[in-house]
A and B are shown apart, each in its own frame.
Chain A
């Protein structure tokens, strides 16, 4: 493994150069040594060094700082360790300013140099793992998880590609469970911001004050319980990347005004802060509400609506793209069965007919949950009609009396019952109800249900 991280030692003193190189070779590294800056650059052109030890003082020709700067031009990722016999603060500061990662005074303790090298390489390994994971993540969200042969969805995917590299705000509309966050991720990971953060905020899940500090951060002592030295908000954390504001239709008038200011000026204040913070963030918002109607009703600011609605993506409900149901069902069977470690061969044609005929009020999320439930309960390694028979019977197999109450009250009771069944676990209750968590939070607020 150490052979993958070649090291270069640059020093005009041959003894110094060779003895350090020999010591590092004993540790398993591939080491080259160069007697001057010119030779070091020749080596750097052909080998991607992880670490370069460069002596600060090399008389006649390039000195250590010049050599370091030239190596950095050729190999920007190489970590430079400046070696010097003179421990002066000025040279240390200069070396660090010019880009040296470390600065050591010779002779140093063997432990010091050993720890220094292993610390730098540990960081490099983490950086390279991080890059690999980012690449994987990027590939994962480049439409691979959006499975469709529906022409309208095809147009939407083409649109996400077109807008991916712009900074324009995107508003994604669609019923719960249609995959709004997946589309937002596809926009982010297909564009130039793919290697920057993608931060999700569920606006319906938090109260106004909590959401404000969540979005904009807060300064120490901004409010009771504002801990430590304050905290960065999601806008700061998303710096250079994308912030996804889910359930945007649920934010309070005050936050609507604050958000409008960020959209207009790309600046904001932390809660309790006096310093203006500039931010480069792409905003993608999503809602299952008809925002134009909310504007008409006076519940949503018109100016904010137009700022958000620069590019609008409307996701169709699953019942309007029934041709995708078999594809999605097969995809979920493969994924979930492998996640659960249960071998399932596939879905029978009869079972698919049941799935296609069903209306899917909870959309793709509901389909996913239904498939998971069927995989968990099936016994013979394949999913057939019986595994989905309860869908044909209107959702539940037992016939039950509909109480004489309003629709709202019925919904309230269903939520309370689901929470009781799931012992107050909101995530599990939302899955059982076939709605997403943020929608459940919204309804908990609306019906004033404590959980």
Chain B
């Protein structure tokens, strides 16, 4: 039960999966396992809002956690939301096993701008670190440059660094050490 499983949900750019694999292997001392693509869950699309309900993605991931997995990270390119909020960059079970990240609003094209692969890579890494951080018990950080700071719009994602601050980093190291992962 040590693997960090990466699960593409629907069509996801291959490059993005590569970025995520590199970043997670750098920060988490866990074997990274790329899982086969799974389809977008039935009933997740909210026609009224033209978005996908994140909760359905989380349910689907939680129902099929592989026995050898300690964390499962879903990655999708569709726009996620919950009933209360107009959109989400991602969602995680706090101190749980499952998280999901949406790349939809990380693309420059979403904001009517020309594509920028470098920026998409940075944003993807930041959001992956953020959601996985929640699964390891990290809450939002008051350091606006830390990957764990709350981003409620894309500008705030861009102002973060692709890393945890010293305090959040230490929390993770202690957690891994307690769980015998380092």
Within the complex, the shortest CB–CB distance from A157 to chain B, in Å, comes to 48
Tell me if A19 and B150 are in contact (CB < 8 A). no
Of the candidates A22, A26, A111, the one having the most CB atoms from chain B within 10 angstroms of its own CB is: A26
Within the complex, the shortest CB–CB distance from A97 to chain B, in Å, comes to 24
B171 close to A (CB within 8 Å): no
Within the complex, the shortest CB–CB distance from B151 to chain A, in Å, comes to 8
A203 close to B (CB within 8 Å): no
A306 close to B (CB within 8 Å): no
Interface residues of B in 70-110 (CB under 8 A from A): 81-88, 91-94
A340 close to B (CB within 8 Å): no
Give Cα distance in the complex from A113 to B83, angstroms. 13
Within the complex, the shortest CB–CB distance from B82 to chain A, in Å, comes to 4
Chain A window 1-41, contacts with chain B (Cβ cutoff 8 Å), 1 for yes, 0 for no: 01000000000010110111011011110000000000000
B93 interface neighbour in A20, A22, A108, A113, Cβ under 8 Å: A22
Q: With contacts A19-B55, A22-B91, A26-B139 known, is A109 near B82, CB below 8 A?
A: no
B53 close to A (CB within 8 Å): yes
Give Cα distance in the complex from A358 to B53, angstroms. 84
A140 close to B (CB within 8 Å): no
Q: With contacts A22-B91, A108-B84 known, is A27 near B53, CB below 8 A?
A: no
Interface residues of A in 328-359 (CB under 8 A from B): none
Q: With contacts A23-B82, A28-B140 known, is A110 near B87, CB below 8 A?
A: yes
A392 close to B (CB within 8 Å): no
Tell me if A18 and B55 are in contact (CB < 8 A). yes
Tell me if B94 and A19 are in contact (CB < 8 A). no
Tell me if A111 and B140 are in contact (CB < 8 A). no
Give Cα distance in the complex from A111 to B155, angstroms. 12
A408 close to B (CB within 8 Å): no
B178 close to A (CB within 8 Å): no
Within the complex, the shortest CB–CB distance from B102 to chain A, in Å, comes to 13
B55 interface neighbour in A2, A15, A83, A108, Cβ under 8 Å: A15
Interface residues of B in 123-142 (CB under 8 A from A): 134, 139-140
B153 close to A (CB within 8 Å): yes
Interface of chain A: mostly helix, strand, loop or mixed: helix
Tell me if A26 and B134 are in contact (CB < 8 A). yes
Give Cα distance in the complex from A76 to B85, angstroms. 28
Tell me if A25 and B94 are in contact (CB < 8 A). yes
CB neighbours (8 Å) of A13 from chain B are 83
CB neighbours (8 Å) of B94 from chain A are 22, 25-26
Nearest CB to that of B95 among chain A residues? A25
Q: With contacts A19-B55, A107-B49 known, is A27 near B150, CB below 8 A?
A: yes
Within the complex, the shortest CB–CB distance from B138 to chain A, in Å, comes to 9
Within the complex, the shortest CB–CB distance from B6 to chain A, in Å, comes to 21
Q: With contacts A28-B139, A28-B140 known, is A113 near B85, CB below 8 A?
A: yes
B150 interface neighbour in A25, A106, A114, Cβ under 8 Å: A114
CB neighbours (8 Å) of A18 from chain B are 55
Within the complex, the shortest CB–CB distance from B42 to chain A, in Å, comes to 15
Within the complex, the shortest CB–CB distance from B11 to chain A, in Å, comes to 25
Within the complex, the shortest CB–CB distance from B56 to chain A, in Å, comes to 9
Tell me if B55 and A111 are in contact (CB < 8 A). no
Tell me if B152 and A114 are in contact (CB < 8 A). yes
Within the complex, the shortest CB–CB distance from B49 to chain A, in Å, comes to 7
Q: With contacts A18-B55, A22-B91, A27-B140 known, is A107 near B152, CB below 8 A?
A: no
Within the complex, the shortest CB–CB distance from A104 to chain B, in Å, comes to 9
Tell me if A107 and B140 are in contact (CB < 8 A). no
Nearest CB to that of B89 among chain A residues? A110
Give Cα distance in the complex from A28 to B153, angstroms. 19
B82 interface neighbour in A2, A20, A28, A114, Cβ under 8 Å: A20
Q: With contacts A26-B92, A106-B84 known, is A15 near B140, CB below 8 A?
A: no
CB neighbours (8 Å) of A108 from chain B are 84-86
Within the complex, the shortest CB–CB distance from B57 to chain A, in Å, comes to 11
Q: With contacts A107-B81, A114-B150 known, is A26 near B140, CB below 8 A?
A: yes
Within the complex, the shortest CB–CB distance from B164 to chain A, in Å, comes to 15
Of the candidates A18, A28, A108, A110, the one having the most CB atoms from chain B within 10 angstroms of its own CB is: A110
Give Cα distance in the complex from A28 to B168, angstroms. 13
Q: With contacts A19-B54, A22-B91, A26-B134 known, is A109 near B139, CB below 8 A?
A: no
Chain B window 51-62, contacts with chain A (Cβ cutoff 8 Å), 1 for yes, 0 for no: 001110000000
Tell me if B153 and A113 are in contact (CB < 8 A). no
CB neighbours (8 Å) of B88 from chain A are 23, 110
Tell me if A16 and B83 are in contact (CB < 8 A). yes
Give Cα distance in the complex from A111 to B85, angstroms. 9
Give Cα distance in the complex from A111 to B152, angstroms. 5
Q: With contacts A26-B94, A114-B150 known, is A107 near B139, CB below 8 A?
A: no
CB neighbours (8 Å) of B86 from chain A are 107-110
Interface residues of A in 104-131 (CB under 8 A from B): 106-111, 113-114
CB neighbours (8 Å) of B49 from chain A are 107
Tell me if A15 and B83 are in contact (CB < 8 A). yes
A–B Cβ pairs within 8 angstroms, 20 of them: A2-B139, A15-B82, A15-B83, A19-B83, A19-B85, A19-B91, A20-B82, A23-B82, A23-B85, A26-B92, A26-B139, A26-B140, A27-B139, A83-B84, A107-B81, A108-B84, A110-B86, A110-B152, A111-B152, A113-B84
Please name 20 further chain A to chain B contacts, defined as beta carbons within 8 Å, in addition to the given A20-B83, A83-B84, A107-B82, sorted by A numbering. Answer: A15-B53, A15-B55, A16-B83, A16-B84, A19-B54, A19-B55, A20-B82, A22-B93, A26-B94, A27-B140, A28-B139, A28-B140, A107-B49, A107-B81, A108-B84, A108-B85, A110-B85, A111-B153, A113-B84, A114-B152
Please list the 4 inter-chain residue pairs (A to B) with the smallest Cβ-Cβ separation, ordered nearest first.
A28-B139, A111-B152, A19-B82, A16-B83
